[in-house]
Structure 1
Amino acid sequence: MTDTVDLLVRQMRIESSGVLSLRLEHPRGEALDRWTPGAHLDLHLGGGLVRQYSLCGDPDDKAGYRVAILREPDGRGGSRRVHDTLRPGDTVPVSLPRNNFELLPSPRYVFVAGGIGITPILAMIVEAQRAGADWELHYGGRSRATMAFLDELAPHEGRVHVVTEDTDGLLDLPSILGTARPGTLVYACGPEGLLTAVESYAGTWPDGAIRLERFKAKERPAAEGDGDQPITVVCEQSGVSATVDPDRTILETLEEAGVDVPNSCREGICGTCETRVLCGTPDHRDSLLTTAERESGATIMICVSRARSAELVLDI
């Protein structure tokens, strides 16, 4: 488990139909660690529930963190726990901020958000404004009633383009992304259908210009040939060597062997279990690493990925 600190739920606010924001502060009023746009927190909600939520406040606000949670009736229970049981005055263990969706410096940005995917984008807009960068936001949702933080975005009229499915249809991605723009980075977050559509334009933009964050794992690629084979994983630091069977993950196998590995989502989307590879060739099955990072083979998300080589030596 990653290091956590118990934070006080200072305030809860309804941001839209189904979306609730939390302001988390240190119980003794101590300053919190600064974070950067795109960062998220792990909330430890009890009963083994650990969920990741994007920070959506001001990165320079050291007095409190803000996250927003969409209630998902058919989800795995995290959002229901927040909406139904957390109340102001409660304390919740929270991880230190971690960023796998870093806002890189650029003179121009195109932000694309769908539904609750607006959360990491809010802080990016704050940073882009401070840096004097040119930016625009295309924000889609089922209806205005379901779209959070429209009041905060209202002062940016002209830069913010709100599209509601019930009156306008879907975001016009061919117009937004059909032609690559020099010196421009695209950041997108939202449901998988939107991100898959955005990702389809990556070939027409410079490598790395389109950057995505997923809240759910992509469908994992099918195993090649006759399926997964057993692999040997060697932990250089701990001296443990274990065989990972086809029906087990590296993380599960190492846990059973007594190796304590920080982890959270167990779906290949949060980056908590990212581990340095010392020898061997990873078979990447995560939804996080970029193409260049995959090709380098320097790290692996051991909660979902395996190996193309018979042996994998890890720096743990």
Structure 2
Amino acid sequence: MSIPSSLSLIVEVKSKRQEAEDIVTFELADPHGRPLPAFGAGAHIDVQVKPGVVRQYSLCNHPEERDRYQIGVLRDPISRGGSIAMHDEIQEGDLIQISAPKNHFPLEHAKRTLLFAGGIGVTPILCMAERLAHTDADFEMHYCNRSPDRTAFLGRIRQGEFADRVHFHFDDGDPDQKLDLEPLIGTPDPETLVYICGPKGFIDFVLSTCKAHGWDSHQLHIEYFAGAEADTSEDDSFEVKIASSGASFTVPADKTVHQVLADNGIEVMVSCEQGVCGTCLTRVLEGEPDHRDLYLDDDEHAANDQFTPCCSRAKSKTLVLDL
């Protein structure tokens, strides 16, 4: 199996630490002590967990650090081979392959910033808080979790320079400290940007509440950690045609476009396989995709000129792909 070309860096696992219940943090560094590529708040790296398994993890250390990358990994009970392997197989001293940092969730300048983190979604949000605190920006962070023992970086945040700007909300705690969005977003402020990361339900709740109160979509920035569960009960077969060769292939109801292309020797780079990371994004020249990703925004979906073959399908009988 070929190694994705994006995995251009070899790093050493300098430390592996139990950060909270079911959450482990890894500190990665160049084996020879050389500086790592720079990154901005909100960035992530691709990690080859094992042959054929590549996953994305947000960088959660200070974005001005060049001597290390830090990632946090939640042990997912329904893991498809990524998080469990990171927890059980990757050890201190191991050499692993990663990509240079990528950023689909960049922190933009604003007069004021609201940060909302749900569970392991704290990783890019924490990096943003570090950056905003370092630049003495006006921000507030709200961190929601089930309980303190499942809350990664709890001690680091409480002892940090921006501890007074962080509000913790625990499901099993005092009802009065649970997240109350109304006072925070009840009145839209055109000079405030909102960043949300976490499970889909959490993101959808914050996002829909903001929109219901009149926040402009350009003020709302989100990053999903997992794809949505699609209803596949009415899926049917369709054709994909390769523009460069004219070859056509049938995509049955129980296979993805990526799987069919791979079966026929056509490689499209994939990573998350859930429509979250955008690695497999492919141009559509003709036909109408059935978008099932969480990577493209509404305007990009409406354009119908690209789609994610790892999970999306077709509404038309045929899709002509720019391959």
TM (norm. structure 2) is: 0.87
Counterpart for residue 172 of structure 2: 166
Q: Please tell me whether the aligned partners of residues 238 and 259 of structure 1 are also in contact (alpha carbons under 8 angstroms).
A: no
SS in structure 2 of the partner of residue 33 of structure 1: coil
- Aligned positions of 1:99-248 closer than 5 A: 99-154=103-158, 155-169=161-175, 170-201=178-209, 202-203=211-212, 204-220=214-230, 227-237=234-244, 240-248=247-255
Number of corresponding residues: 313
Provide the identity percentage.
Answer: 39
Counterpart for residue 86 of structure 2: 82
Change (3 A) 1:229 1:76: closer
Deviation, 1:85, is: 2.7
Deviation, 1:246, is: 2.9
Answering whether residue 11 of structure 2 is matched by residue 11 of structure 1, we say no
Q: Please tell me whether the aligned partners of residues 59 and 124 of structure 2 are also in contact (alpha carbons under 8 angstroms).
A: yes
Letter in 2 for 1:151: G
Answering whether residue 40 of structure 2 is matched by residue 30 of structure 1, we say no
Letter in 2 for 1:91: L
Q: Which runs of 5+ in 1 are unaligned?
A: none
* Whole-angstrom CA distance in 1 between matches of 2:182 and 2:169: 14
Q: Please tell me whether the aligned partners of residues 51 and 78 of structure 1 are also in contact (alpha carbons under 8 angstroms).
A: yes
Q: Please tell me whether the aligned partners of residues 2 and 262 of structure 1 are also in contact (alpha carbons under 8 angstroms).
A: no
Deviation, 1:68, is: 0.8
* Whole-angstrom CA distance in 1 between matches of 2:137 and 2:289: 38
Cα root mean square deviation, aligned:
2.3
Change (3 A) 1:70 1:247: closer
Change (3 A) 1:177 1:2: farther
Deviation, 1:136, is: 0.6
Counterpart for residue 54 of structure 1: 58
Deviation, 1:237, is: 4.3
Change (3 A) 1:194 1:23: same
Deviation, 1:194, is: 1.5
- Aligned positions of 1:296-315 closer than 5 A: 296-315=303-322
* Whole-angstrom CA distance in 2 between matches of 1:139 and 1:127: 17
Q: Which runs of 5+ in 2 are unaligned?
A: none
Change (3 A) 1:246 1:165: closer
Deviation, 1:207, is: 1.9
* Whole-angstrom CA distance in 1 between matches of 2:84 and 2:279: 23
Deviation, 1:12, is: 1.8
Q: Please tell me whether the aligned partners of residues 36 and 68 of structure 2 are also in contact (alpha carbons under 8 angstroms).
A: yes
Q: Please tell me whether the aligned partners of residues 53 and 271 of structure 2 are also in contact (alpha carbons under 8 angstroms).
A: no
Letter in 1 for 2:229: E
TM (norm. structure 1) is: 0.89
Which segment is superposed worse, 237-246 or 87-96?
Answer: 237-246
Q: Please tell me whether the aligned partners of residues 71 and 79 of structure 1 are also in contact (alpha carbons under 8 angstroms).
A: yes
